[in-house]
Amino acid sequence: MSIEIKQIEKSFGRFKALKSIDFAVESGELIALLGPSGCGKTTLLRIIAGLETPDKGCILFHGEDATDRHVRDRNVGFVFQHYALFRHMTVFENIAFGLRVRPRSQRPPEAALRRKVHDLLNLVQLDWLADRYPPQLSGGQRQRIALARALAIEPKVLLLDEPFGALDARVRKDLRRWLRRLHDELHVTSVFVTHDQEEALEVADRVVVLNEGRIEQIGTPESVYDHPASPFVYQFLGDVNLFHGRVHEGEAQIGDARIIWPEQSPQDSAVFYVRPHEIDITRTAESTAAIAACISDIRTLGATVRIELERSDGQGLVEAELARDQFSTLALTKGEVVYLQPRRLKLFSTVAETTGQ
Amino acid sequence: MFRNTRVLPGFAPTLGFTLLYLSLIVLIPLSATVVKSAGLGLEGFWQVITSPRVMASYRLTFGASLLAASINAVFGLLVAWVLVRYPFPGKRVVDALVDLPFALPTSVAGIALSSLYADQGWMGAGFAALGIKITYTPLGVVVALTFIGLPFVVRTLQPVLEDFEAELEEAAASLGASRWQTFWWVIFPTLLPGLLTGFALAFARAVGEYGSVIFIAGNIPMVSEITPLLIITRLEEYDYAGATALAVSMLVVSFSLLLIINGLQRWSQLSRL
């Protein structure tokens, strides 16, 4: 089922949580609402679910206005960050709950209900936990049960509020891949909220980046990452180095470095954005595009090495990331003076992007 | 169990102190009553505690207490619910009012209740018109015991309700449950242990209540005479052995009833480890 979100606004007292939110979720799509805490992403999800009412605007489910429909009649599956499992019911009864509370005429017979619950337990690979109580399960297991419970009512839309937020890193990674596979199997229209850009980029078909109650950008993970629409998106999606400089006569000037910049509009004060892993480090200045810097710190993070450098012109710190092999070939040491060459610079305000050299 | 690996040390001294304290405050006075009543001999003891007038007072005391505690369980839950869930003007005043039965000297409560519910009183007149007599009947006893027991249920349920996760209700609603289904299947089971505790406290208080009951009850033998009153009567007659015999019998019954309620509570909590 498709969802259309039209001109949604919401305030809490004087705080404007959402400002004119407008986008559509296509049927069968998996969408991530991504943003820092307090950006309104959870509020938006709760409005879609019907747990919160918008001040203005409307929500359309499959072209039909559902704004005033009660959450119980929306047929949405909602998964909470802290699971919200019923502690006094077994896992089995938790999943069966949505079926048992149906009006008598729509309630499946006991045998069919048991079959259905066990199918769902198998789907989340936890059939052996049917008779346990929620407090006896681990976080990851609880969240999978919560998901099974939400799926039991055969929802047209699945909404997940930071579903992996309370789990530790390893479980989180497993579970989000599992969620992606599950979605590929079930194709239920899904929206999930996260503040973790990695999670959003890995799992979602499309990402909606929110900031301070507004949509910053909507797009596929690749397009959002490769072509961020604003400095906010660029910074939110990964680590970033800022280089202050100017654009002059077809050149980007950063300190003493000159980088060919075909964009014609000159700018006296420009901020260039560079990702740490898009910086080359060399021992000698191989072109005019190199910036001299002194290595102040080296940290190995598994497969990559993070190097902190102090620019020789006193313009602050730069962070670079090298693959482990590359790092060993270069055999860099702390205190050494090296040359930085950004492979890719991003400049906002004039919509320009180019590759260095 | 006795290996000292806890964050807070001192299992032995705290247990020792607790036992000593309970002995001084509860166990020794209680055993003194048993010892005192032993002067009657087994047969005499049995005769005292099973005479028809005493049996009638047991029925009234325990029956009225159970009924009052049940009424309080229902309406106390309602009051606690309203106080926690809804904002309304004067809420703090109402909240403070709940404690009033605690603070009021019981005889003051008794006098107030009996004048209110007397056949000519504000409330009593209305009931009398309907042919319901409250003062000097077992009904009056129930009214008084309900009055003094209310705070127990309200105060034990309030924190439980305040801690209740709104998400659980939202989850139930998103799964299609009606308000009533949400209350009955999701909220009520989490309240049950607290409700039973409140019930037990209200019941225990009601069984031992004296001051507020005697005025409204009229103390007619075989009809509206409560056991604590019988005990006082015996005391006034210097029949200490008889008084303690009655006290012991009440203690045994109360204790077993409280044990049963505790057991129920344990059972209702079992699934919420």
pLDDT at res. B3:
58
Q: Which CATH number fits the domain that encloses residue B50?
A: 1.10.3720.10
Q: Do B190 and A98 touch (CB under 8 A)?
A: no
Query: Is the pLDDT at B2 greater than 70, yes or no?
Result: no
| Domain total of chain B | 1
CA distances from B217 to B103, B137, B214, B221 (A): 21, 6, 5, 11
Q: Do B177 and A101 touch (CB under 8 A)?
A: yes
Q: Do A70 and B173 touch (CB under 8 A)?
A: yes
pLDDT at res. A80:
92
Q: Do B172 and A152 touch (CB under 8 A)?
A: no
Query: Is the pLDDT at A212 greater than 70, yes or no?
Result: yes
Span A25-49, average pLDDT: 92
Q: How far apart are the first and last CA of chain B?
A: 20
CA gap A49, A38 in Å, rounded: 19
B167 vs A50, A75, A82: nearest CB: A82
Task: Give the number of C-alpha atoms closer than 13 A to the C-alpha of residue B197, restricted to the C-beta side.
Answer: 14
Counted residue by residue, chain B has a size of 273
Local structure of residue B224 (DSSP, 8 states): S
Choose, out of B174, B184, B273, the residue to mutate when testing the contact with A (most A CBs < 10 Å): B174
Query: Is the pLDDT at A194 greater than 90, yes or no?
Result: yes
pLDDT tens, position by position, A137-157: 998 899 999 999 999 999 989
Query: Is the pLDDT at B153 greater than 90, yes or no?
Result: yes
| Pairs across A and B, CB distance < 8 A | 74
pLDDT at res. A357:
36
Task: Give the number of C-alpha atoms closer than 13 A to the C-alpha of residue B211, restricted to the C-beta side.
Answer: 13
Confidence of residue A354 (pLDDT cuts 50, 70, 90): very low
Residue A157 has φ and ψ, to the nearest 5°, of: -135, 135
B273 touches chain A (CB under 8 A): yes
A80 touches chain B (CB under 8 A): yes
B9 in a domain, yes or no? Answer: no
B221 in a domain, yes or no? Answer: yes
**Chain B residues touching residue A101 (CB < 8 angstroms):** 172, 175-178, 181, 185
B168 vs A86, A101, A152: nearest CB: A86
CA gap A258, A246 in Å, rounded: 10
Q: Do B170 and A72 touch (CB under 8 A)?
A: no
Burial of A65-103, coded b for 16+ CB within 10 Å and e otherwise, reads: ebeeeebbebbbbbbbbbbbbbbbbbbbbbbbbbbbbbe
Question: What CA dihedral angle connects A291, A293, A299 and A300, to 10 degrees?
Answer: 40
Task: Report which of A179, A193, A346 is spatially closest to residue A274, judged by C-alpha positions.
Answer: A346
Report angle CA B90, B96, B99 to the nearest 5 degrees.
Answer: 150
B25 in a domain, yes or no? Answer: no
A302 touches chain B (CB under 8 A): no
A150 touches chain B (CB under 8 A): yes
| Residues whose CB falls within 8 Å of the CB of residue A38, separated by 6 or more in sequence, listed in order | A212
Report the percentage of chain B scoring pLDDT > 70.
Answer: 96
Task: Report which of B55, B215, B56 is spatially closest to residue B141, judged by C-alpha positions.
Answer: B215
3-state secondary structure of B221: coil
pLDDT at res. B5:
64
CA gap B174, A86 in Å, rounded: 13
B3 touches chain A (CB under 8 A): no
Confidence of residue A51 (pLDDT cuts 50, 70, 90): very high
Q: Looking at CA atoms only, how far is residue A289 from chain B in angstroms? A: 56
Confidence of residue B63 (pLDDT cuts 50, 70, 90): very high
Report angle CA A129, A28, A112 to the nearest 5 degrees.
Answer: 40
B20 in a domain, yes or no? Answer: no
Query: Is the pLDDT at A347 greater than 90, yes or no?
Result: no
**Chain A residues touching residue B273 (CB < 8 angstroms):** 133, 135-136
Task: Report which of A278, A276, A281, A290 is spatially closest to residue A331, judged by C-alpha positions.
Answer: A281
Local structure of residue A107 (DSSP, 8 states): P
Phi-psi region of A252 (alpha: psi -120 to 50; beta: other; left: phi over 0): beta
Within A169-285, where are the H helices? Answer: 169-186, 197-203, 221-226, 231-236
Q: Do B176 and A87 touch (CB under 8 A)?
A: no
Q: Looking at CA atoms only, how far is residue A89 from chain B in angstroms? A: 7
Q: Do A133 and B273 touch (CB under 8 A)?
A: yes
Q: Beta strand A30-34 with A189-194: parallel, antiparallel or unpaired?
A: parallel
CA gap A78, A45 in Å, rounded: 9
Q: Which two tokens stand for residue A259?
A: 């980088």
Span B63-67, average pLDDT: 94
B4 in a domain, yes or no? Answer: no
In B, minimum Cα distance to A81 occurs at B167
Work out whether the CA dihedral A329, A331, A332, A336 comes out positive or negative: negative
Span B159-171, average pLDDT: 91
Q: Looking at CA atoms only, how far is residue B124 from chain A in angstroms? A: 45
Beta-sheet strands, E only, within B148-273 = none
CA gap A16, A326 in Å, rounded: 48
Q: Which two tokens stand for residue A37?
A: 């805490």
Task: Report which of A248, A230, A250 is spatially closest to residue A240, judged by C-alpha positions.
Answer: A230
Task: Yes or no: say if A50 and A8 are a contact pair by the CB < 8 Å rule.
Answer: no
pLDDT at res. B270:
64
By residue range, what is the domain housing residue B180?
A: 41-271
Least confident window among A81-95, A191-205, A241-255, B156-170: A241-255
B188 touches chain A (CB under 8 A): no
A152 touches chain B (CB under 8 A): yes
Query: Is the pLDDT at B48 greater than 90, yes or no?
Result: no
Task: Yes or no: say if B236 and B67 are a contact pair by the CB < 8 Å rule.
Answer: no
B249 in a domain, yes or no? Answer: yes
Work out whether the CA dihedral A296, A301, A305, A306 comes out positive or negative: negative
B85 in a domain, yes or no? Answer: yes
Averaged pLDDT of chain B: 87
B228 in a domain, yes or no? Answer: yes
A88 vs B170, B177, B272: nearest CB: B272
CA gap B17, B37 in Å, rounded: 29
Query: Is the pLDDT at B17 greater than 60, yes or no?
Result: yes
Local structure of residue A39 (DSSP, 8 states): S
Confidence of residue A244 (pLDDT cuts 50, 70, 90): confident
**Chain B residues touching residue A76 (CB < 8 angstroms):** 174
Task: Give the number of C-alpha atoms closer than 13 A to the C-alpha of residue A280, restricted to the C-beta side.
Answer: 15
In B, minimum Cα distance to A74 occurs at B174
Q: In the 3-class helix/strand/coil scheme, how is B92-126 assigned residue by residue?
A: HHHHHHHCHHHHCCHHHHHHHHHHHHCCCCHHHHH
Q: Which of residues 15-74 of A touch B (CB under 8 A)?
A: 49-51, 70-72, 74
Q: Do A84 and B272 touch (CB under 8 A)?
A: no
pLDDT at res. A351:
42
Question: What CA dihedral angle connects B215, B218, B221 and B223, to 10 degrees?
Answer: -110
pLDDT tens, position by position, B196-221: 989 999 998 899 888 888 888 888 88
Query: Is the pLDDT at A355 greater than 60, yes or no?
Result: no
A135 vs B176, B185, B273: nearest CB: B273
Query: Is the pLDDT at B38 greater than 90, yes or no?
Result: no
Query: Is the pLDDT at A285 greater than 90, yes or no?
Result: no
Q: Which residue has the tokens 């204790």?
A: B255
CA gap B259, B265 in Å, rounded: 10
Query: Is the pLDDT at B61 greater than 70, yes or no?
Result: yes
In A, minimum Cα distance to B187 occurs at A86
Q: Which two tokens stand for residue A44?
A: 């938006």
Task: Report which of B174, B79, B266, B250 is spatially closest to residue A151, judged by C-alpha positions.
Answer: B174
In A, minimum Cα distance to B164 occurs at A84
- The interface predicted TM-score (ipTM) is 0.82
Q: Do B172 and A97 touch (CB under 8 A)?
A: yes
In B, minimum Cα distance to A84 occurs at B168
Q: Do A153 and B176 touch (CB under 8 A)?
A: yes
Question: What CA dihedral angle connects B132, B137, B141 and B146, to 10 degrees?
Answer: -10
Q: Do A149 and B175 touch (CB under 8 A)?
A: yes
